[in-house]
Structure 1
Amino acid sequence: MSLTTNTPSEKLAHSAIISFLGSGFAAVAALLLTIMVGRALGAEGTGLFYLAVGLFTIASQILRLGSNSAVIRTIATQRALGVKGHATSVLYIAVLPVLLISLGAAAAIVLLAEPMAGFFVDAGQQEDFASLLRQLAFLISLSAVLAVLQTLTRMLNSVLMFTMLQNVLLPAGRVALVGLALWWGMDAFEVVFAWALSIPFWVLVTVGILLPKLREDRKLRERRLAPGTTREFWNFSASRGVGAALEICLEWVDVLLVAALRSPAEAGIYAVVTRIVRAGQIIDRAMRVAVSPKIAHHLALGENNAVRALHTKATQTMILVAWPFYLTLIFFGQPVLGFFGPEFISGTQVLAVAALGIMILTSTGMLQSLILMGGRSSWQMLVKAISLTLSVGLNIVLIPWWGITGAAITWTAVIILDASICGFLVYRRMRIGLDLRYVLRSILVALAVFGGGWLVLRLCGWHSPGALLLGAVMLALVYLGAIALLRHWLGLGELKLASFTGRKKL
């Protein structure tokens, strides 16, 4: 008999580490792909590539219908209440509507490909772009189904399996296929098709992984599914689906508007900037994957103190890991952009503005997850609608005047508005706060070491890529030492033992 058991805190910490490593791999793969595309296709080709990828991603996210979050919430709530054996029912409830609606949407894309192409690209590229959209239509449908199936692997198999499928194997496959397409000298639109080509294969793999777990789960069934489960699932998903659609449009609308209102070349530079900045959100995505089911569990039982502890721990982790990256982008944006090609260095100022915006967002914690796992998907939908309206309006006004700098200013303004509204809803309406002592202390450590360190190095004349790499190693060592020395002041000792279980106050 084993003499040791994994505590809830240890299990969650293990999940967080796996999710972080997987998200880190996905972010590195995305950056590598961007470097490959940028160096091979230049600013204009990169703009066309990300224009098509953006449209693909928006359509795929919308066609998930918000079912991803509903799958996590439904299964986590059932487990918290002792309901077993209904994962197959949740699968049918989630996947069938997504499949049917996404197939209809694929047919609509095929029919509307030419007018869509006419809106985004010049006359000389419209025929090729319309042909690409027709080729991608069915793959967009499968991509929506794949996302739902992979979410089920998170709940039925393990965080490791989910992470391997979504954050390691799929991104690695895309890098390989895009690399081959570029090596063969394909143009931007052909490279996009190569990027999406592996989706049917991963659908089959994911189904094969799920089937044994679904059979095991059905053996645990003790009673029939509660009446109204389907209605509750899709009531939640409906508003979440609209919210997710608004969220993904918010993520890509600036790139699309830069392409439509300025040029593909400027869109390419701006797309590279935003991809770099979003790479720093790996810790946010890792925390969502690891912590969201636990948040749903505690909220279902009314354990707000445990949620507060989780939220504080997640926010601290996000700040301590992500802020050094964003501060590096602010002080050394030029050599970073130089890795993608000389055409992209003109986006240095834009990179600093965008990085500042994401730093603000990171410091507010997991507000979106708290709102969603608390069943308030309608709140999230309203917030995203307001944010998207502001984003479209400001971008239409500022992009023609200031180009991609106007898009970056809009980005930061929208982030501040979004975080302010969500913060009010979480802290005032849901009554779930943060222990600001530890959050502010984490901010101070990151600013002192990386903010102060990069400022000193810049004043000493360090500007080259070599200086960036050497400085990053030096500051990282100082940073780790500072965290180790200040761990009790930062509250990391208490957090390690108790924050994930909610058994002690921070």
Structure 2
Amino acid sequence: MSLTIMMKLSGRRELLIQTIISFFCRALAAIAALITSLVIGRQLGAEGAGLYFLAFSIVSFVSAFSRLGLDNTIVRFCGAALPERNWGIIRTTVYKAILISSLVSFSLAIVLYYSADLLAESLFQKSELGAVLKLISPGIVGLSVLTLISMALQGTRRIPASILIQTIVVNLVLAIGLYIYSVSSPESAALAYSITTVLTVIFGCYLFFSNLERGSQVVSWQALFKSCMPLWIVVIMQQTVQWSGQFIAGSFVSTEEVAQLAVAQRTALLVSFVLMAVNMVVAPRYAAMFKQAKMAELEDMAITSTRIMIFLSIPVVTIMVVIPDYIMGLFGEGFSGGASLLQILAVSQFVNVMTGSVAYLLTMSGHEKELRNTALISGPVAIVLGLVLTPIYGVTGAAIATAIAISTQNIMAMWLVNKRLGFNTMAIWKKTNC
């Protein structure tokens, strides 16, 4: 057997092992997120959970804004630098990203704290939301930094640690704390979330920086901003697609219906956890392959990963479409009415899976501006449809608006991958070498 063939087989074996590990860790992360939603739904009730989830969606959106698009920039720079062991590039990329994001997120957390009552009363017509927003506002800083650390771990191919920091630790610690102390108010849950994010940041910094070697090379501020600025717009628009339905619904429907939409949306994400698991493994490899001009291998990996994701997600989406009443009923009294919302959002997440890792393919290959252009369409689509459909069809209209926007975003990105990289990620019938 030639050396070239042996190297290819070794690389595929490593990829397979990493994918299995990532899948297992993502499954644990999905279970942790589900447990947290169950605990919050059952202990706070539909109304209390609605206030908490609405506040959480605001924090998630502001945190994404605070990261300035540096999430994927970290993965790209670290993923490209790792094969050549450019530790200085990796270290300075992460340092500078955390510094910038910390300053922005801290400033926005202060703004949210002091404007909480005004937002609650004037925008959402829910005065009781104000106290929840104040207590969860520190979570903006914690969520921003822990996300960047998770991306740094992903970029350096430490997949289990990345997933542990990003999802598992936060959700499990929060769920355990809420259960043990019998938390029954959204205000207490909000405070618990803020504390949990800070503890996770401390743990994440230890995991990443304690094993990081030193190097002489550094990444410039210019290179960092050149990559992250287009991605910042992408992140803002992606968050708009994800959360605008809940924001708009918060102004038009009851708190209980907001809770149904939030729980349905969080549950529907289980369909795409396979996509997230595979992306954790392939994203830094995409960056390295594109940098080394290995386009055939890049295409093979993209199509093969799409096959795997479609195959593994079919059972999950089928369950959600066939027995949505039972699944939503698990969260407690008042949630089963959101069964149709779960069906709508699960189908949109399946479209997300079927198109493959299109966002990462564009980002890791330096086509951030093309991805930005898709986001500039899908974000406004989500807002316009939400404002049109929600007053007419209530919370169902908000779910439909979100589903259409998600599908539009991924289909456009798939078209751009075909145009810029020369292959169709949905061509799962095509013969590959993987």
TM value normalised by structure 1: 0.79
Specify whether residues 70 and 248 from structure 1 end up closer, same or farther in structure 2 by C-alpha distance, changes over 3 A only.
Answer: same
Which aligned segments of 4 or more residues in structure 1 are displaced greater than 6 angstroms?
none
Which residue matches 1:238? 229
Structure 1 residues not aligned, in runs of 5+: 440-490, 500-506
Within 5 Å, which residues of 2 pair with 1:21-420?
Answer: 21-80=24-83, 83-122=86-125, 124-125=127-128, 129-156=129-156, 158-181=158-181, 183-184=182-183, 186-214=184-212, 217-218=213-214, 221=215, 224-225=217-218, 229-420=220-411
How many aligned positions are there?
428
**Which one of 8, 11, 14 corresponds to residue 11 of structure 1?**
14
- The letter for the 2-side match of 1:133 is L
**Once the 2 structures are TM-superposed, how far is the Cα of residue 51 of structure 1 from its aligned partner?**
0.3
Q: Is residue 273–residue 347 contact of structure 1 (8 Å, CA) maintained in 2?
A: yes
Distance in 2 between residues matched to 1:256 and 1:337, nearest whole Å = 21
Q: Is residue 306–residue 356 contact of structure 2 (8 Å, CA) maintained in 1?
A: yes
Distance in 2 between residues matched to 1:410 and 1:136, nearest whole Å = 27
Specify whether residues 303 and 48 from structure 1 end up closer, same or farther in structure 2 by C-alpha distance, changes over 3 A only.
Answer: same
**Once the 2 structures are TM-superposed, how far is the Cα of residue 435 of structure 1 from its aligned partner?**
6.7
Specify whether residues 74 and 437 from structure 1 end up closer, same or farther in structure 2 by C-alpha distance, changes over 3 A only.
Answer: closer
Specify whether residues 68 and 419 from structure 1 end up closer, same or farther in structure 2 by C-alpha distance, changes over 3 A only.
Answer: closer
Q: Is residue 177–residue 192 contact of structure 2 (8 Å, CA) maintained in 1?
A: yes
Specify whether residues 205 and 290 from structure 1 end up closer, same or farther in structure 2 by C-alpha distance, changes over 3 A only.
Answer: same
Q: Is residue 177–residue 195 contact of structure 1 (8 Å, CA) maintained in 2?
A: no
Which whole-Å deviations, capped at 9, do the CAs of 1:345-390 have from their partners, x for residues lacking one? 2222222222222222211111111111111222222212211111
**Once the 2 structures are TM-superposed, how far is the Cα of residue 81 of structure 1 from its aligned partner?**
5.6
**Once the 2 structures are TM-superposed, how far is the Cα of residue 320 of structure 1 from its aligned partner?**
0.7
Aligned to 2:68, what secondary structure does the other structure show? coil
**Which one of 432, 438, 461 corresponds to residue 429 of structure 2?**
438
Specify whether residues 432 and 197 from structure 1 end up closer, same or farther in structure 2 by C-alpha distance, changes over 3 A only.
Answer: same
Distance in 1 between residues matched to 2:133 and 2:338, nearest whole Å = 29
**Which one of 406, 410, 418 corresponds to residue 427 of structure 1?**
418
Distance in 2 between residues matched to 1:345 and 1:104, nearest whole Å = 39
**Once the 2 structures are TM-superposed, how far is the Cα of residue 84 of structure 1 from its aligned partner?**
4.7
Aligned to 2:297, what secondary structure does the other structure show? helix
Aligned to 1:433, what secondary structure does the other structure show? coil
Distance in 2 between residues matched to 1:282 and 1:438, nearest whole Å = 23
Q: Is residue 157–residue 213 contact of structure 1 (8 Å, CA) maintained in 2?
A: no
Aligned to 2:335, what secondary structure does the other structure show? helix
Q: CA RMSD in A?
A: 2.3
- The letter for the 2-side match of 1:334 is D
Compare CA radii of gyration and give the structure with the larger one. Answer: 1
Which whole-Å deviations, capped at 9, do the CAs of 1:130-189 have from their partners, x for residues lacking one? 3333333333113212221232233447222223333332221121122235x14x3122
Q: Is residue 334–residue 345 contact of structure 1 (8 Å, CA) maintained in 2?
A: yes
Which whole-Å deviations, capped at 9, do the CAs of 1:230-268 have from their partners, x for residues lacking one? 311211111112211221221111012111111111111
Distance in 1 between residues matched to 2:127 and 2:398, nearest whole Å = 26
Distance in 2 between residues matched to 1:351 and 1:80, nearest whole Å = 42
Distance in 2 between residues matched to 1:231 and 1:200, nearest whole Å = 30
Aligned to 1:279, what secondary structure does the other structure show? coil
Specify whether residues 310 and 117 from structure 1 end up closer, same or farther in structure 2 by C-alpha distance, changes over 3 A only.
Answer: same
Specify whether residues 285 and 123 from structure 1 end up closer, same or farther in structure 2 by C-alpha distance, changes over 3 A only.
Answer: closer
Which residue matches 2:3? none
Distance in 2 between residues matched to 1:120 and 1:317, nearest whole Å = 43
Distance in 2 between residues matched to 1:165 and 1:11, nearest whole Å = 23
Aligned to 1:213, what secondary structure does the other structure show? coil
TM value normalised by structure 2: 0.92
Structure 2 residues not aligned, in runs of 5+: 1-5
Q: Is residue 15–residue 160 contact of structure 1 (8 Å, CA) maintained in 2?
A: no
Specify whether residues 348 and 206 from structure 1 end up closer, same or farther in structure 2 by C-alpha distance, changes over 3 A only.
Answer: closer
Report % sequence identity: 20
Distance in 1 between residues matched to 2:393 and 2:82, nearest whole Å = 52
Q: Is residue 268–residue 349 contact of structure 2 (8 Å, CA) maintained in 1?
A: yes
Distance in 2 between residues matched to 1:317 and 1:296, nearest whole Å = 20
- The letter for the 1-side match of 2:336 is I
Q: Is residue 52–residue 132 contact of structure 2 (8 Å, CA) maintained in 1?
A: no
Specify whether residues 342 and 136 from structure 1 end up closer, same or farther in structure 2 by C-alpha distance, changes over 3 A only.
Answer: closer
Q: Comparing 78-87 with 143-152, which one deviates more in the overlay?
A: 78-87
Distance in 1 between residues matched to 2:157 and 2:352, nearest whole Å = 31
Aligned to 2:122, what secondary structure does the other structure show? helix
Q: Comparing 204-213 with 96-105, which one deviates more in the overlay?
A: 204-213
Aligned to 1:419, what secondary structure does the other structure show? helix
**Once the 2 structures are TM-superposed, how far is the Cα of residue 39 of structure 1 from its aligned partner?**
2.4
Distance in 1 between residues matched to 2:138 and 2:332, nearest whole Å = 33
**Once the 2 structures are TM-superposed, how far is the Cα of residue 301 of structure 1 from its aligned partner?**
1.6
Distance in 2 between residues matched to 1:213 and 1:39, nearest whole Å = 40
Q: Comparing 151-160 with 232-241, which one deviates more in the overlay?
A: 151-160
Which residue matches 1:464? none
- The letter for the 1-side match of 2:377 is I
- The letter for the 2-side match of 1:433 is N
